[in-house]
Structure 1
Amino acid sequence: MKQTDELYRNQFSEVNMPQFRFIGWLLSLAGGFMLWKLNPIGFILFVAGMVLAFFREGIEIRIMERQFRSYISIFSIFMGKWKPLPEIEYITLFNERVNQEAWMLSIHGNTLDEHIKVALVHGNHQQIPVGIFKDKEMAVEAATKLATQLGTKLLDYTTKDPAWVIE
């Protein structure tokens, strides 16, 4: 996460992203081996693998210009359209549970993962997600810094009773 007084950048680290990076590296290795054997399909596999391995997505906020964009990044080249940042009512922290089920013949597997999401709330309770964190302290730190930079309130919904961290 890169943060300065002018720019807030946070990469979304979704649950399934390490799988795609691993597949990307495997494709790159297979493509490199095929290129070594002078097989032209190896070039396609190598490039596709590198794109998968270095693909990222996230959000950038220009604090001074009051603009934001959801970006995709390949090889650290950021792409996305800048939009005006709406009037932010408050920033919220909340728990999000992700459930993934897998069935195989008579075996059933269930994976439950929980992470903390940070979102800007504006208008009629519309949200702009700005971060996904595994650690609550990191989420609170990032949300507090962003709330201070934007001059807005911070609401913590991670506990049973919501509480204002910054009013």
Structure 2
Amino acid sequence: MKKFLYLEKIPLIKIIIGNILWVTGFCSLLFINITLGPGFLVVWSLFIIVGLYLISTDGIELDFNENQYRQVFSIAGSNFGIWKDFPNIDYITIFKTTITQTIGGKTFGSTATATMSDKMVLINLFAENKKPTTLYMTKNPEMAIEIAKKFHEFYNIEVINKMETKK
């Protein structure tokens, strides 16, 4: 079987808090809500939603048998995403980049803006027409290298690692 799943790690504190929230919300919805009436239905539902969000993670699933991949949103072991076909791959690149996002300032009366930036590792597939297809962005360089090695192993393509810095 040539199917691989790579998921981002969730911090332990998020797992603990998330599980406490969704279990509390679910049990309260089933048992306590009967005595208190439907007034707390929104509160218990919010506990469940926030708890499940905290224990969710992102990742990528590769299926080399079907030549497909998908960006995965995973909640408690259930993976969701839309499958996409690989292009006709010539080579793959891995490099570090800074992702910058500006929030606010888009409306007429708003003058407040915030700019956030984060360092990410970008994995690009290049087809024969030299057009890049972004496969995945991650903060974990080891995961990016492992994904690139799988492509090299199954498709025997060149991996260009631009993460090494010259000293």
Q: Considering the TM-score relative to the shorter chain, is it more than 0.5? A: yes
Label 1:6 to 1:93 Cα distance change in 2 as closer, same or farther (>3 A). Answer: same
- Indicate the structure (1 or 2) with the bigger Cα radius of gyration: 2
For residue 42 of structure 1, give the secondary structure of its aligned residue in structure 2: helix
1:40–1:133 CA distance, 2 compared to 1 (3 A): closer
Give per-residue Cα distances to partners, 1:65-106, cap 9 Å, x unaligned. Answer: 21222232223222223232221111111111135789xxxx
More strand by share: 1
Task: Considering fraction of residues, name the structure with more helix.
Answer: 2
TM-score norm. by structure 2 comes to 0.62
Residue 4 of structure 2 is matched in structure 1 by: 8
Moved more, 111-120 or 65-74: 111-120
1:97-116 equivalent positions in 2, closer than 5 A? 97-99=98-100, 113-116=118-121
**1:113 to partner: Cα distance:** 3.6
Mean alpha-carbon deviation: is it higher for 119-128 or for 32-41?
A: 32-41
Residues matched between the structures, number: 146
Equivalent residue, structure 2, for 1:127: 133
Q: Report the secondary structure of 1:64's partner residue.
A: coil
Q: 2:49 matched to 1:43? A: no
- How big is the shift at 1:45? 1.4
Letter in 1 for 2:66: E
**Contact kept? 2:122, 2:134, Cα under 8 Å:** no
Contact preservation (8 Å) 1:10, 1:130:
no
TM-score normalised to structure 1 length: 0.62
Matched residue, 2:61:
60
Correspondence for 2:163: 158
Match of 2:36 in 1: none
The unaligned stretches of length 5 or more in structure 2 are 34-39, 104-113
Counterpart code for 1:128: T
Q: Percent sequence identity over matched residues?
A: 22
- Name the CA distance, whole Å, in 2 between partners of 1:76 and 1:155: 32
In 2, the alpha carbon distance for the partners of 1:32 and 1:8 equals 32
Q: Tell me: CA distance 1:48–1:152, structure 2 relative to 1, closer, same or farther (3 Å).
A: same
Gapped runs of 5+ residues in structure 1?
A: 103-108, 162-167
| Maintained 8 Å contact 1:63/1:149 | yes
Q: Distance in 2 between matches of 1:50 and 1:58?
A: 19
Q: CA deviation at 1:143?
A: 1.7
Match of 1:117 in 2: 122
Match of 2:88 in 1: 87
Could you tell me whether the CA contact under 8 Å between 2:91 and 2:160 is conserved in 1? Answer: yes
Inter-partner Cα distance in structure 2 for 1:144 and 1:56: 23
Shift of 1:54: 2.9
CA deviations on 1:102-123 (whole Å, 9 max, x unpaired) are 9xxxxxx987542322222224
